[in-house]
């Protein structure tokens, strides 16, 4: 069976509330229902899909591996840039040669790099 989409990604954090606030305030996602696990955390949703599972830990493990970045295909290019500017979030903007995709790279409070990808049509629409 071919891969259909990325279901979610999991992030270990020392402060799930601060991380969740970043995703809600800056990216416009929302906090949603989460199973009653015996450890603190939050599930962050895009629409009806929980795309990010935050797991809170007092200490973060070393040498567990590195996630370079997670990419989201996005719309609302102008609106999202305004949200980033309003929140004081720095971004690096790039264009993918040949495919004409615009990327905005940002960092979360936990240091995770996120790529926000927009099609040429989405960027032209503002």
Residue range of the domain that includes 102: 9-58+67-124
User: 75 in a domain, yes or no?
Assistant: yes
User: 93 in a domain, yes or no?
Assistant: yes
User: 18 in a domain, yes or no?
Assistant: yes
Give CA–CA dist 69/11, Å, rounded.
11
Predicted confidence (pLDDT) at residue 18 exceeds the cutoff of 90: yes
Phi/psi of residue 84, each to 5°? -60, -45
Which two three-digit tokens encode residue 73? 């295909």
User: 1 in a domain, yes or no?
Assistant: no
What's the pTM? Answer: 0.74
Element (H, E) at 47: none
Predicted confidence (pLDDT) at residue 17 exceeds the cutoff of 70: yes
User: 2 in a domain, yes or no?
Assistant: no
User: 4 in a domain, yes or no?
Assistant: no
Is residue 104 very low, low, confident or very high in pLDDT (cuts 50, 70, 90)?
A: very high
User: 99 in a domain, yes or no?
Assistant: yes
User: 120 in a domain, yes or no?
Assistant: yes
Domain count, the chain: 1
> Rg for the chain (alpha carbons), in Å?
15
Q: What is the mean pLDDT of residues 59-71?
A: 75
pLDDT of residue 64: 64
Place of tokens 């720095």: 90
| CB contact at 8 A, 45 and 39 | no
Question: Looking at per-residue confidence, does 95 or 99 come out higher?
Answer: 95
pLDDT > 90: percent of the chain: 46
Q: What CATH number has the domain bearing residue 115? A: 3.10.180.10
Is residue 69 very low, low, confident or very high in pLDDT (cuts 50, 70, 90)?
A: confident
């Amino acid at each position: 069976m071919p891969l259909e989409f990325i279901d979610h990604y999991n992030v270990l954090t020392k402060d799930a509330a601060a991380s969740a606030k970043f995703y809600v305030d800056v990216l416009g996602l929302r906090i949603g229902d989460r199973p009653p696990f015996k450890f603190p955390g939050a599930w962050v949703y895009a629409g009806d899909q929980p795309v990010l599972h935050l797991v809170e830990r007092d200490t973060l493990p070393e040498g567990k591996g590195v996630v370079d970045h997670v990419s989201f295909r996005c719309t609302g290019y102008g609106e999202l840039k305004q949200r980033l500017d309003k929140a004081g979030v720095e971004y690096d903007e790039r264009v993918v040669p040949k495919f004409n995709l615009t990327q905005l790279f940002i960092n979360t409070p936990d240091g995770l790099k996120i790529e926000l990808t927009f099609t040429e049509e989405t960027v032209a629409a503002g």
